[in-house]
Amino acid sequence: MARKARADTPLTRDKVLHVAIDLADAGGIAALSMRTLGRQLGVEAMSLYNHVSSKDDLLDGIVDLVIAEIELPAPDADWRDAMRARAVAARAAFARHPWAAGLIDSRVSSGPGRLRYLDSIIGVLRRAGFTIELALRAFSLIDSYIYGFGRQSLNIASSDGGEVPAAEAFAQALPADDFPYLAEMATTYAASPGYDAAADFAFGLELILDGLQRVLDSTQSPARPWEAQNS
């Protein structure tokens, strides 16, 4: 449930944005309207426009606050370390704010925080030797993995009150003779202590980074002997 703001504290942009995030966390981005936000803050909706210029400004502002939870890489960071740390931090931020990934990806306008975030990540890839095209593809690939993994994790976490009980019920209801490999996997999963989302995420992420490393290496192959002599 979203926290109701105290009426005796002055209204500020920061307060408006944080209460907006609480509303989105509690009910999804569809639950966030200027009227609902004003009611939560104990003011008329029109009063909010003293602190945000429009609904788009509000959305850009809450996007920037979520992105601020993702630490930007140092300018001299190793690209793999930077992408790994960024992916882990982004997954954690989007788990706290399940609505955020979809909103971030759909925004045409941007606040300064999102722009710094995008520029920082692209900068790490470009300094590592990625071409503009490959940097864009690498960024898109990693983001697609983060978003997709987050959605899948939400589905697993909300299934039947827990991962292992749901797996047990699925394994018991499955006709094992008809679907032997699926039954084997479900039975093994049901007997496990639980789903290790962090380990699963790290496994897939390392495969992606390994693949990107091979692509990067192929674009930086050493010059032929005669080219090196004439260079």
pTM of the predicted structure, to 2 decimals: 0.81
Percent of the chain's residues with pLDDT above 70: 84
Best-predicted range by mean pLDDT (6-20, 35-49, 184-198): 35-49
Which CATH number fits the domain that encloses residue 189? Answer: 1.10.357.10
Same domain (yes/no): 94, 26: no
Instruction: Give dist(CA 122, CA 203) in Å, integer.
Output: 23
Note the pLDDT of residue 184.
84
Per-residue pLDDT, averaged over 86-91, amounts to: 96
Decide if 230 is inside a domain: no
Average pLDDT, the chain: 86
Asked, for residue 173, whether it belongs to a domain, the answer is yes
Q: Which residues of 47-85 are buried (b: 16+ CB within 10 A; e: fewer)?
A: ebeebbeeeeebbbbbbbbbbeebebbeeebebbebbbb
Residues 108 and 210 in one domain: yes
Quote the number of domains for the chain: 2
137 and 39 within one domain: no
Tell me, what's the pLDDT at 188?
79
- Look at residue 228 and tell me if it is in a domain: no
Position 197 in a domain:
yes
Shared domain for 118 and 214, answered yes or no, is: yes
- Domain identity same for 48 and 83: no
Task: Based on the fold, state whether residues 179 and 92 are members of the same structural domain.
Answer: yes
Do 63 and 50 form a contact (C-beta atoms < 8 A)?
no
Q: Is residue 182 a part of any domain in this protein? A: yes
Confidence of residue 165 (pLDDT cuts 50, 70, 90): low
Q: What is the pLDDT of residue 226?
A: 42
> What is the extent of the structural domain holding 89?
79-220
Give the pLDDT confidence score for residue 67 in this predicted structure.
Answer: 95
> Are residues 46 and 98 located together in one domain of the fold?
no
Confidence of residue 172 (pLDDT cuts 50, 70, 90): confident
Q: Could you tell me if 19 and 90 lie in one domain?
A: no
37 is a domain residue? yes
Q: Which long-range contacts (CB under 8 A, 24 or more apart) does 34-39 make?
A: 34/58
Residue 154 has pLDDT above 50, yes or no: yes
Dihedral angle computed from the Cα positions of residues 199, 92, 87 and 188, in that order, rounded to the nearest 10 degrees? 20
Same domain, 207 and 122: yes
- Which residues are CB-contacts of 90 (< 8 A; sequence separation ≥ 6)? 70, 143, 146
Same domain, 31 and 100: no
So what's the pLDDT on residue 105? 83
Q: Give a yes or no: residue 8 inside a domain.
A: no
Give me the mean pLDDT over the 119-142 stretch.
96
Is the model's pLDDT at 25 over the cut of 80?
yes
- Tens-digit pLDDT profile for residues 58-84: 999 999 999 999 999 998 999 999 999
Q: In the chain, what is the straight-line distance between the N-terminal and C-terminal CA atoms, in Å?
A: 66
Answer yes or no: is 2 within a domain. no
Q: What's the chain's length in residues?
A: 231
pLDDT at position 149: 92
97 and 194 assigned to the same domain = yes
Q: Which residues, other chains included, contact 86 with Cβ-Cβ below 8 Å and sequence gap of 6+?
A: 70, 71, 73, 121, 142
**What per-residue confidence (pLDDT) applies to 225?**
47
* CATH number for the domain harbouring residue 24: 1.10.10.60
pLDDT of residue 169: 77
